[in-house]
Amino acid sequence: MWVILSFFTIKGIQFFYEEKGKGENLIFVHAGVADSRMWDSQFEYFSEFFRVIRYDLRGFGKTGFSEEEYNDAEDLKALFDYLQVTKAHLVGCSKGGQIIVDFALQFPTFVNSLCLVNSLPNGFEFDELEPNILWTALESVDEKDFKKRADLETMIWFVGQSRTKDEVQSELYQKVVEMDLIAIQNRTQISPRVKVFFENASTKLENFSAPIAFIDGILDEPFMVKGAKDLSKKLGAQLYLIENTAHLPSVERPKEFNESLKKFLNPLN
């Protein structure tokens, strides 16, 4: 089956994207510690049933960035326009989940469904956070020590505080470090320029009519898992919990993740 690897341009910035397959559109938006490679398994698996699209956000993976202010949801809309997508199922992990929610609230007629992976919308009120020695260690690392910061962020998000580095596959650990290293090197230049449309997105989502699902690795930060449980119940959304994985279940437990996402999408396809 053919694969398109290409770029589309917004105000001089080249955005990397890939597409594969035919059928309804299924778009994946990556986490803030990764890039579109976190969806490798999903890109292959779901292209048997959908037209699958993934891309790199500004300053991530192969996508460039500039000094202008921008909004990730508007960038996603530009991708829709470029590829002539008028309706899509959207899957977003962490930061990517916040982006697809902001997009859905601004462009609701373009959305078939939303799936938030270890993600909570902008404006969600967390319970008091539990102390985490890794967060404390990260705060003390020099901002320009990119490698050390990437290692610690991978420990926090990919490994999780209840496991050790030896309990995860080393090649997957290094893959996440590699993806995050690119993001960290660009983060200080792009983060101050991000515009958020909906500070209270979690509240506005209560009136959203399209189907919603949450998929969470149960070894993620406890406040993330609890938030997904609480919000899914409040919204009447589907909730799928995956064992033995933390913030990036699509990378570490692709089989279980794909099965969960397929259960959600099958009745809608």
pLDDT at 183: 93
CB-based burial, 14-45: b 16+ in 10 Å, e otherwise:
ebbbbbbbeebbbbbbbbbbbbbbbbeebbbb
Residue 196 scores a pLDDT above 70: no
Distances (CA, A) of 17 to 31, 143, 209: 15, 29, 28
Classify domain 3-127+189-268 at the CATH class level.
alpha beta
The ranges assigned to domains in the chain are: 3-127+189-268
* pLDDT tier, 10 (very low <50, low <70, confident <90, very high otherwise): confident
pLDDT over 70 (residue 198): no
- For residue 133, give the 3-state DSSP assignment: helix
Residue 113 in this model has a pLDDT that exceeds 90: yes
Round the average pLDDT of the chain to a whole number and report it: 90
Residue 124 has what pLDDT? 83
Distance CA 75, CA 91 (A): 16
- Map tokens 């102390």 to a residue: 131
Q: What is the pLDDT of residue 125?
A: 77
pTM over 0.85, yes/no: yes
Region 57-70: what's the mean pLDDT?
A: 89
Tens of pLDDT, residues 213-253: 999 999 999 999 999 999 999 999 999 999 999 999 999 99
Q: Is residue 115 very low, low, confident or very high in pLDDT (cuts 50, 70, 90)?
A: very high
pLDDT recorded at residue 197: 64
- Local confidence band at 141 (pLDDT 50, 70, 90 cut-offs): confident
Q: Which amino acid is at 30?
A: H
Per-residue pLDDT for 49 more than 60?
Answer: yes
